[in-house]
Amino acid sequence: RSVCDIPVICSMTYMKNNRTLTGVSPQAAAVTLERLGASVIGCNCSGGPAELLAVIAELAETTELPLVVQPNAGLPLVSEGVVTYPLGAEAFAQAMLPFLPYQVQFVGGCCGTTPEHIRLLKMAVQGFVPEARRLERVGTLASRERVIKTGGQTLPKIIGERINPTARKKLAQGLRDGDYALIQSEAEAQQEAGAHLLDINVGTHGIDEVQVMADLVGLLQQGMTIPLCLDSTNSAVLERALALYHGKALINSVNGERASMESILPLAGRYGAAVVALTLDEQGIPETAEGRLAIARRIVAACADEGIPPEDIYVDALTLTVGTDICGPQETLRAMRLIKEELGVQLLLGVSNVSYGLPNRPKINSAFLAMAIAAGLDLAIINPLDEQMMDSWQSAALLAGRDVGAQNYL
């Protein structure tokens, strides 16, 4: 996409477990490739038509893009040095018909197929006119294995906040020493506790942030299945991390300052990432909900110029501690409602900021989380190891009607 403006078709090979050789799921491939600008996506080669049917089914329920399927004529058979394929031309053409209900637009063949296979396949699908697939537009984030959906009536999701050296001396020292054992254990514990994403922040003095973030992205992708939130305002740090990331990441963050938008948003557009949009600018954080809405409008307009759709924008209406402004949390909640209603974007919040400087912080945090979910919160940056917070999340999501069938609560 960076060197041409003609359509790009991306087709991938899947194994029997419906994963590529490097472990990519069909859903993750669809989410990532669509956001990167592919014009057509699909699958090829593999075992044969039957083996790719489940892959196409996953792709069809994940993306509205046109689909292509080009299977082998079955798995190759080798006898006395001669390679043959089990599906003849007529059998192959018939085996391709189950793909049509998924509204595939392109069909063909890979290993073992011949001009006769393609001729009979063309005859078999003659007259079929694929219908456009229409899917609900929700936010998506992806690791190479797993897709997280946000927005609409989906369950509000959790970003684990604990990989952050601010006020954590041991973690900061580990970053300086190149000892990432604590970070690995924190990542594993948060995923195990129910986090849907991990926020990765390496902002501390005495390190090469570009290299350390790159190291951590590579390391955590080896053992983690959930997507990453790349927490930096440094464009060099983000670009290196995005180039190494296997999936669709979340950038944390951009704000309403012109310099921030000009340096961060082109990266999100190029690397297919979603973005956290902070409602502050050169004048700081507006006191009123209307002021924060105005900044959100500017960022959303700038995102559109980079091809970033509303469902990939996570606006943080920002909350300050209630200890210094008793009305502050209410103004944040009002801003959230205004932003969601007018702009149709996702809502994100660093919940624990509300209790800074006060005793028994989890008591305040858990109550505010419930109020934010009622106001439409889609992504909550919290500590998933805090049982009180997780209890509040489960209960509030259920009462807000965003836990279908109470599956998460039960």
For 152, phi and psi rounded to 5 degrees? 60, -135
The whole-number pLDDT of residue 2 equals 80
The whole-number pLDDT of residue 144 equals 95
Q: Can you name the residues that pair with 78 across neighbouring β-strands?
A: 83
Order of strands, sheet of 106-107, starting from the edge strand that comes earlier in the sequence: 9-12, 40-45, 67-71, 106-107
For 389, phi and psi rounded to 5 degrees? -65, -40
Side chain identity, residue 345: V
How far apart are the C-alpha atoms of 43 and 70, rounded to whole Å?
6
The whole-number pLDDT of residue 177 equals 95
What's the gap between Cα 302 and its chain centre?
Answer: 20
DSSP letter (8 states) at residue 112: T
How far apart are the C-alpha atoms of 221 and 140, rounded to whole Å?
18
How far apart are the C-alpha atoms of 1 and 269, rounded to whole Å?
11
Mean pLDDT by 10 residues, the chain (410 residues): 90 95 96 96 95 97 97 94 95 98 97 97 97 94 97 96 93 95 97 98 96 97 95 98 97 98 97 98 97 98 97 97 96 98 97 96 97 98 97 98 96
Degrees (nearest 5) of the Cα angle 86, 87, 88? 115
Q: Can you name the residues that pair with 250 across neighbouring β-strands?
A: 229, 274
